Amino acid sequence: MLQIVHITKRYHYQKVLDDISLDLPKTGMIAIVGPSGCGKSTLLHIIGGIDQDFQGDIKWQERSVKKHLSHYSQKHIGFIFQQFHLIMWLSVHQNITMSQFFQRGGGEENLDIDDFQNLKMSSLSLGQRQRIAYLRACYQPSDILLCDEPTGSLDPVHADEVMNLLKEESKRRLVIVVSHDLKLVERYSDEIYTMCDGKIESHQCFRHTPLTQNKIVSRHKKIFPLLRLSWMSLKSHKGRSLQLIFGLTISFLCIIMTLTMSRGLETQIQNYIYSLIPSSCISFQAHNHQSLTLDFVNELQSQPSITRTQLYLQEYEFLGIGFVGERYQDSQVLFIGDDASPYQDIQLDMGQYPQEDHEIIVSLSTAQHLCKDESLSTLLNKKVYAWYQYQNEVKSIAYQVVGITNQTTALDTLYQRENAYIHLLKDVYQFDEKDIQSDLGMIYIHKDYQRSEIIKELKKQYPDYKFLEVGATTTQNISQSMQQVRVVLMIFSGLAILSSLFLIGEVMFLNVIQKKKDFAILICFGARRWHLLKIVLFESLEIVLSAQMICTGLYYQLLSLVNVMSQELLLNNHLTLSFDYELLLFVYSASFLLVFISQLPPLLYVFRLNTIAALKD
């Protein structure tokens, strides 16, 4: 049934096995005896297919299996090792049913381990470990059971007990026992091979054990077995895993918060710039710096794309607004930083848009500054005085507040009908509109039109005037600077993530080195290389996923906190940061890719693991 054909094995040119050939039956107990160091274990490992570096051949049912020893080992071989080779981070039950993580089917369901099944592996006695090793071998569905000194660490009574059990097992499959205790194996074995110096010295055949039908219980594989194994492995070094998860969470949080805040800041800066210089604004001047006339302003105003045209009277300085109209008092006047924006696109919080020249609307923040502790509605229809200075003469125009916008503006702002202040100033300072001395005007275009297109049109129509986009270079420069800042932030945060991920790679590498013996044991009990690769990969993915989950929760909490704090600290000019799903998705997907790359060294190590060397470690 099983033929060992001219096996020779060398360790560094030293012949450990010298042309060994065996012809073994389907059932029965075969003993291989000999003095220590004669090569018994080496022969057993070659028969088991875990030592694949030898000359000669192995034939199972007349067919050579040398080219697919891993498959042969997984399908036909079970082991009981002298040192038991149990995995300490698995439970008693998981150790016994180890093969079920990788294969379907199994032996006895009734394991009779009640007295110690809930104990930790490390607290088990030698006898209990021996029993687990035996039960594990019986549980694994195999045709050949290889036992390396199965009674080596037992007293004579327990040794007899184990030999009796193996004898019973030999009725269902071939049991090969390696021992140096000739007297013991003589009582149980059907055949005995005696080895000396790597050669078979004698062969005795006493009897033949007939086949009793093997009880193979058909059973499904465990659900997500490799995932469970990787989780158990992760738990076996809890401290290290938690440190990794913590480090990675911090890195993720750093990059995500940094980018979210830089984006939020950019939006705020953009809004601030737009509140100062609206994106729909075009300035105009005559090429020869001649004064602009109101007629020309009105002509521009008649274009459908232009919503409002306004002249700047640079000589008339706007000092601000207040409630006192008799006399200018600096302390009672609120400085107005912006009185130029169009109001057509602005939403009103209360009141209405100006219908007359003396009607104005103010921004929400300006209304709050004007009202102080009073209710905002008290401001509606209230008279305010706008103070102007011209050639040392300070005079006021009476306005009526008819509406409040819903905006929080960086500067205190009021809106009025186009050129209303010019019409009103004309009466206050008693000048003729024809005498207006202004060489600068502003055009506000409709939001549906492109500013650059309108400028082209205007330049064609009015070649004597120059038209420029207001604030275009400033916004562009700020956008570019923010973009550069973001790139630098991304590079540094990316480096933080990269180092964390490669730290995972390093730690996983140390883990697999530490666990190489356990991986070798798993190979002996049915694991293929790709099973082990999956376990290592799953373990790192579990770490990354845990970090991502914690980071998402913290990100959400931190955003709410920053938003509340900015609202309280910065009052009206608060920074609102929003949950950036796209950013999360991008960072998390990139981290998965990096995990795969960082896992290459540990994966390669597992792939090239020398089972025999690892078992002897």
Ligand X SMILES: Nc1ncnc2c1ncn2[C@@H]1O[C@H](COP(=O)(O)OP(=O)(O)OP(=O)(O)O)[C@@H](O)[C@H]1O
Tokens of 558: 């931190």
Contacts (Cβ under 8 Å, ≥6 apart) of 565: none
What is the three-class DSSP state of 245? helix
Can you tell me which of 41, 103, 280, 363 binds ligand X, judged by CB under 6 A? 41
Rg of the chain (C-alpha set)? 44
Is 42 or 368 the residue whose CB approaches ligand X more closely?
Answer: 42
| Cβ 39 to ligand X shortest distance, Å | 4
Q: Which is nearer to ligand X, 37 or 156 (CB)?
A: 37
**Does residue 147 belong to the site contacting ligand X (CB under 6 A)?**
no
How far is Cα of residue 606 from the mean position of the Cα atoms in its chain?
24
Q: Are strands 383-390 and 191-196 parallel, antiparallel or unpaired?
A: unpaired
Q: How distant, in Å, are the alpha carbons of 316, 393, 416 from that of 327? A: 18, 12, 23
Residue 496: exposed, middle, or buried by beta-carbon count in 10 A (0-12, 13-18, 19+)?
Answer: middle
Window 440-499: residues binding ligand X (CB under 6 A): none
- In the complex with ligand X, which residue's Cβ is closer, 34 or 505? 34
Provide, rounded to whole angstroms, the least separation between the CB of residue 148 and ligand X.
7
Within 162-297, strands assigned E span 174-179, 191-196, 199-205, 281-286
One of 4, 7, 16, 425 touching ligand X (CB under 6 A): 16
* 276 contributes a contact to ligand X by CB under 6 A: no
Residue 11 within binding range of ligand X, rule CB under 6 A:
yes
- Which residue reads 């003729």 in tokens? 432
Complex with ligand X: residue 195 or 401, whichever CB lies closer: 195
Q: Exactly one of 2, 4, 27, 42 binds ligand X (CB under 6 A); which one?
A: 42
Q: Is the CB of 41 or the CB of 268 nearer to ligand X?
A: 41
Q: Which residues pair with 192 in a beta bridge?
A: 31, 204
**# residues contacting ligand X (CB under 6 A):** 11
Is residue 417 a contact partner of residue 354, using CB atoms and an 8 Å limit? yes
Site for ligand X in 179-238 (CB under 6 A): 180
Q: For 215, which DSSP code?
A: -
Span from 21-29, 35-43, 122-130, 462-470 in contact with ligand X (CB under 6 A): 35-43
Q: Which is nearer to ligand X, 34 or 441 (CB)?
A: 34
Q: Indicate the residue among 37 and 553 with the shorter CB distance to ligand X.
A: 37
Minimum gap (Å) between residue 54 Cβ and ligand X = 12
Told to check if 37 binds ligand X by CB under 6 A, we report yes
Please report, as residue ranges, which positions from 383 to 442 form the binding site for ligand X (by CB under 6 A): none
Q: Taking the complex as a whole, how short is the minimal distance between the CB of residue 6 and ligand X, in angstroms?
A: 18
Instruction: Say how many C-beta atoms besides its own lie within 10 A of residue 477's C-beta.
Output: 10
Among 13, 36, 115, 122, binds ligand X (CB under 6 A): 36
Q: How far is the CB of 601 from ligand X (least distance, A)?
A: 24
- Smallest gap, in angstroms, from Cβ of residue 203 to ligand X? 17
Q: Which of 2, 17, 15, 9 is nearest to 58 (CA)?
A: 2
- When binding is defined by CB under 6 A, the residue of 28, 39, 247, 526 that contacts ligand X is 39
400: its two tokens: 């009526």
- Per CB under 6 A, the segment of 33-41, 333-341, 469-477, 584-592 that binds ligand X is 33-41
The one segment of 31-39, 153-161, 395-403, 549-557 that binds ligand X by CB under 6 A: 31-39
Alpha helices in 88-125 (DSSP H): 92-96
CA dihedral sign, ordered 297, 302, 303, 309: positive
Is residue 151 part of the contact set for ligand X (CB under 6 A)?
A: no
Assigned token pair, 7: 């096996």
Residue 489 Cβ, how far from ligand X at the closest point, in Å?
53
Binding segment toward ligand X, per CB under 6 A, in 38-46, 288-296, 437-445, 494-502: 38-46
With respect to ligand X, which residue has the nearer C-beta, 38 or 520?
A: 38
Question: In this structure, are residues 522 and 309 in contact, taking their beta carbons and an 8 Å threshold?
Answer: no
Binding to ligand X, residues 522-551 (CB under 6 A)? none
- Of 185 and 281, nearer to ligand X (C-beta) is 185
Least distance from ligand X to the Cβ atom of residue 1, Å: 24
Q: Which long-range contacts (CB under 8 A, 24 or more apart) does 211-218 make?
A: 211/26, 211/27, 211/171, 211/172, 212/27, 212/171, 212/172, 213/172, 214/172, 214/173, 215/107, 215/108, 215/172, 216/105, 216/107, 216/141, 217/105, 217/106, 217/107, 217/108, 217/109, 218/104, 218/105
CA distances from 183 to 27, 37, 176, 188, 196 (A): 22, 19, 16, 10, 17
Using the minimum distance from each CB to ligand X, give the nearer residue, 180 or 446: 180
Query: Is residue 4 a contact partner of residue 22, using CB atoms and an 8 Å limit?
Result: yes
Residue 40 binds to ligand X (criterion: CB under 6 A) = yes
**Binding of ligand X by 90 (CB under 6 A):** no
Nearer to ligand X, 98 or 609 (CB): 609
Contact 34, 40 (CB under 8 A): yes
Judged by CB under 6 A, which of 4, 38, 111, 404 binds ligand X?
38
- Residues forming contacts to ligand X in the complex (CB under 6 A) are 11, 16, 34, 36-42, 180
